[in-house]
């Protein structure tokens, strides 16, 4: 195949890099332009004083999708070597300081669940097996395929399917069919936050998330954390001749008629290409890089995911109370979600997640030191709300530290050597994510999924494509890997050649 066809990719997030590998493997001459000095975007890395932090993604779940994509690109990803299974997926801590360990050990799950709510183990198994069926069906019919026209999604055959995948039942209400204890209701629904939504609003389709976790397990890339996934993909891209240009923001996509001709960089250099793939956040691309503002106004009216306040701490002490992944769920679960999604702020007693990778990967910190990242879901940036992010950051930090102290980490504050915080505004600035809505950015209700999600090809400029969390199928590394596979299949099918 000739190397004469050229592709430019805007952004070196996991979506952009993976698409670069697919296209280079299929004969394209690929250049990637990334605004930041390093790759990874929301799966990026920070190394400070020997402490290594995954900035965004920390959990490797749905390993089957990783294998599907890595295998299709001929990149080795060996379980037990490249990615290590975690026997304990995460520990969930409740406000009364009790805890529940989500584990692949069924006997242990049974003991724990029966203690919280007698009879719940069998119902939990039923919830998980039903959720996993939804996951498989969802992958086949909704998530793992391209939609070229509306009737591929909306047709007589698919209406019963949408009911089968629980697209029209509220997730929390659905969970009530299985559990009554508030701790279990929270434990089996909080995962909606992974895609930036509330279980009180989201469809029960998302029961597939805890189901996939508990069925396929959770893994961690050895010797480097989630950024190893980026590095592996990057190495494959470089081997195939992809050229990466860091610290090179794209400021415009050049269009004429029904075509995108190239890009203009911040320094006014023009780069021509046969096709363009935007990995940068889709609503941002329409708003800031393209001339037609009508579509941008439409995109602005969609529902957006929540944002996150992330604290990264280097500590000179290790706290055995924490698991590799720990989730702290507040008794004010529902109120907390309302403060995020309606108030566009954060609760006084928020639920949050702690990543402490040293437990399984000692290379993440110097000896006897700890590397801890705390993620708290908060409202996204909204011009209709008065939002004082400095105040919200301080309030959130205080609440997290007080909760950790109650869990036995009494002296944690005095052991923080340094701290970095990513607020919704920092996320927006760092990666150009609209409204700092880091889990999408566009939300994941059924009317913003499948064919209804912003398409992976521009409707007018037929050689301008999109990849990443804000297009089909959605947020999270597994979805973004699939997004790269799907858009590449579409590009190859539509086969743009040099005119
Ligand atoms: C706090 C947090 C926790 C998460 N946890 C998990 C998890 O545990 N597991 C999981 O699977 N997923 C997780 N995710 C989601 C996952 O990180 C994202 O879905 C994924 O990284 C998004 O990849 P992407 O390629 O779509 O976008 P991005 O990573 O945003 O990449 C887009 C790239 O485009 C660049 N760019 C933007 N504008 C321009 C421009 N004008 N010119 C040039 N370049 C530009 C950006 O700098 C960025 O590098 C988490 C996300 C966050 C924020």
Tell the residue nearest (CA) to atom 13 of ligand 1.
Answer: 57
Is 24 in contact with 237 (CB distance < 8 Å)?
A: yes
Q: What is the 40 CA–ligand 1 centroid distance (Å)?
A: 7
- 483 CA closest ligand 1 atom index: 26
Give residue 1's pLDDT: 45
Q: How far is the CA of 64 from the centre of ligand 1 (A)?
A: 21
Cα–Cα distance between 245 and 71 in angstroms, integer? Answer: 27
Q: Average of pLDDT values for 266-285?
A: 98
Nearest CA to ligand 1 atom 2: 56
pLDDT for residue 3: 52
pLDDT digits (tens, 9 = 90+) for 389-428: 999 999 999 999 999 999 999 999 999 999 999 999 999 9
Q: Fill in the DSSP letter of residue 375.
A: E
What's the CA-to-centroid distance between 315 and ligand 1, angstroms? 26
Task: Give the bridge partners for 60, in sequence order.
Answer: 219
User: β-strand 464-466 against 275-278: which pairing, if any?
Assistant: parallel
Cβ atoms 118, 107 nearer than 8 A: no
Instruction: Give the pLDDT confidence of 4-41 residue by residue, as tens digits.
Output: 799 999 999 999 999 999 999 999 999 999 999 999 99
- From the CA of 480, give the closest atom in ligand 1: 26
CA 138 distance to own-chain centroid: 17
Q: What per-residue confidence (pLDDT) applies to 498?
A: 45
Mean pLDDT, range 443-450, rounded to an integer? 91
What are the tens digits of pLDDT across the range 107-117?
A: 999 999 999 99
Nearest atom, ligand 1, residue 39 CA:
49
Where does the pLDDT of residue 474 fall: very low under 50, low under 70, confident under 90, or very high at 90 and above?
very high
Span 347-376, pLDDT tens digits: 999 999 999 999 999 999 999 999 999 999
Which 8-state DSSP code applies to residue 455?
P
DSSP string, 50-116: TEEEESS---EE-HHHHHHHHHHHT----BTTTEEEESEEEEEEETTS-EEEEES-HHHHHHHHHHH
Find, among 267, 210, 204, 274, the residue nearest to 461 by Cα. Answer: 274
Residue 153's pLDDT is 87
Taking residues 471-489, report their average pLDDT.
Answer: 97
Q: DSSP secondary structure string, 184-208? A: HHHHTTGGGGGGT--TTTSBGGGGH
Average pLDDT over residues 114-138: 97
Q: Is the pLDDT of residue 259 over 80?
A: yes
For the chain, helix, strand, coil in percent to 5 are: 40, 20, 40
- Say what the pLDDT of residue 454 is: 96
Q: How many CB atoms lie within 10 A of CB 245?
A: 15
| DSSP one-letter string for 292-320 | -HHHHHHHHTS-B--EEEEEEEEESS--T
> For the residues 442-468, what does the mean pLDDT come to?
95
What is the percentage of the chain residues whose pLDDT exceeds 70? Answer: 99
Question: Mind listing the pLDDT tens digit for each residue in 55-78?
Answer: 999 999 999 999 999 999 999 999
Q: What is the residue whose two structure tokens read 């992010």? A: 389
3 state DSSP class of 219: strand
Q: What is the mean pLDDT of residues 267-295?
A: 96
Helix 208-216 with 120-138: angle, nearest 10 deg:
100
Backbone phi, psi, residue 114, to 5°? -65, -30
More confident residue, 497 or 93: 93
Estimate to the nearest angstrom the gap between the alpha carbon of 343 and the chain centroid.
23
Ligand 1 centre distance from Cα of residue 268 (Å) = 26
**CA–centroid distance, residue 99 to ligand 1 (Å):** 31
271 CA to middle of ligand 1, Å? 24
Averaged pLDDT for residues 197-225: 95
Pocket mutation for ligand 1, best pick of 37, 38, 46, 57 (most atoms within 8 Å of C-beta)? 57
pLDDT at residue 98 tops 80: yes
Query: Binning pLDDT at 50, 70 and 90, where does residue 151 land?
Result: confident
CA of 262 to the centre of ligand 1 (A): 23
Distance 41 CA to ligand 1 centre (A): 4
Which atom of ligand 1 is nearest the CA belonging to 468? 26
**CB-based contacts of 221, cutoff 8 Å, min separation 6:** 60, 82, 83, 84, 227, 228, 229
Query: How many other C-beta atoms can be found within 10 angstroms of the C-beta atom of residue 177?
Result: 12
What is the pLDDT, as a whole number, of residue 499?
40
Q: Report the mean per-residue pLDDT for the chain.
A: 95
Q: Residues lining ligand 1, CB < 6 A?
A: 10-16, 33-36, 41-43, 56-59, 249-250, 279-280, 308, 310, 375, 431-432, 438, 468-469, 475-478, 480
């Amino acid at each position: 195949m000739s190397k004469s066809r050229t592709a430019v990719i805007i952004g070196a997030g996991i979506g952009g890099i993976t698409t670069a590998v697919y296209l280079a493997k299929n004969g394209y001459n690929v250049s990637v332009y990334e605004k930041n000095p390093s790759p990874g975007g929301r799966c990026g890395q920070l190394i400070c004083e020997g402490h290594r932090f995954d900035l965004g993604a920390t959990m490797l779940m749905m390993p089957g999708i990783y294998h599907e994509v890595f295998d299709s690109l001929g990149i080795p990803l060996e379980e037990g070597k490249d990615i290590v299974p975690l026997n304990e997926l995460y520990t969930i801590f409740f406000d009364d300081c009790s805890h529940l360990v989500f584990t692949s050990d069924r006997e242990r799950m049974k003991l724990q669940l029966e203690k919280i709510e007698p009879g719940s183990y069998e119902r939990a198994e039923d919830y998980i097996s039903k959720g996993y069926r939804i996951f498989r069906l969802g992958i086949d019919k909704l998530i793992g395929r391209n939609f070229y026209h509306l009737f591929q999604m909306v047709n007589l055959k698919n209406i019963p399917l949408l009911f089968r995948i629980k697209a029209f039942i509220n997730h929390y209400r659905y969970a009530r069919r299985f559990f009554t204890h508030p701790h279990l209701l929270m434990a089996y629904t909080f995962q909606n936050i992974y895609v930036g939504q509330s279980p009180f609003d989201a469809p029960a389709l998302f029961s597939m998330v805890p189901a996939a976790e508990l069925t396929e397990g959770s893994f961690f890339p050895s010797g480097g954390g989630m950024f190893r996934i980026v590095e592996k993909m990057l190495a494959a891209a470089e081997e195939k001749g992809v050229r990466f240009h860091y610290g090179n923001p794209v400021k415009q996509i050049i269009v004429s008629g029904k075509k995108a001709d190239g890009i203009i960089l911040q320094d006014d250099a023009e780069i021509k290409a046969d096709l363009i793939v935007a990995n940068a956040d889709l609503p941002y691309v329409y708003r800031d890089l393209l001339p037609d503002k009508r579509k941008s106004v439409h995109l602005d009216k969609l529902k957006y995911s929540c944002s996150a306040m992330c604290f990264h701490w280097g500590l000179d002490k290790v706290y055995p109370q924490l698991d590799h992944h720990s989730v702290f769920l507040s008794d004010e679960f529902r109120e907390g979600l309302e403060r995020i999604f309606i108030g566009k702020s954060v609760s006084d007693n928020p639920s949050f997640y702690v990543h402490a990778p040293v437990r399984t990967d000692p290379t993440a910190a110097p000896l006897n030191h700890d590397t801890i990242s705390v993620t708290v879901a908060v409202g996204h940036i909204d011009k209709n709300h008065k939002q004082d992010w400095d105040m919200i950051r301080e309030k959130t930090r205080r609440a997290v530290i007080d909760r950790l102290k109650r869990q036995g980490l009494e002296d944690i504050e005095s052991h923080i050597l340094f701290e970095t915080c990513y607020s919704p505004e920092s996320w927006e600035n760092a990666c150009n994510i609209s409204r700092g809505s880091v889990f999408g950015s566009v939300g994941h209700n059924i009317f913003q999924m499948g064919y209804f999600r912003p398409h992976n090809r521009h409707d007018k400029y037929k050689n301008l494509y999109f990849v990443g969390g804000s297009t089909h199928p959605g947020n999270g590394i597994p979805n973004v890997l699939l997004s790269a596979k799907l858009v590449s299949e579409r590009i190859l099918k539509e086969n743009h050649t040099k005119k």
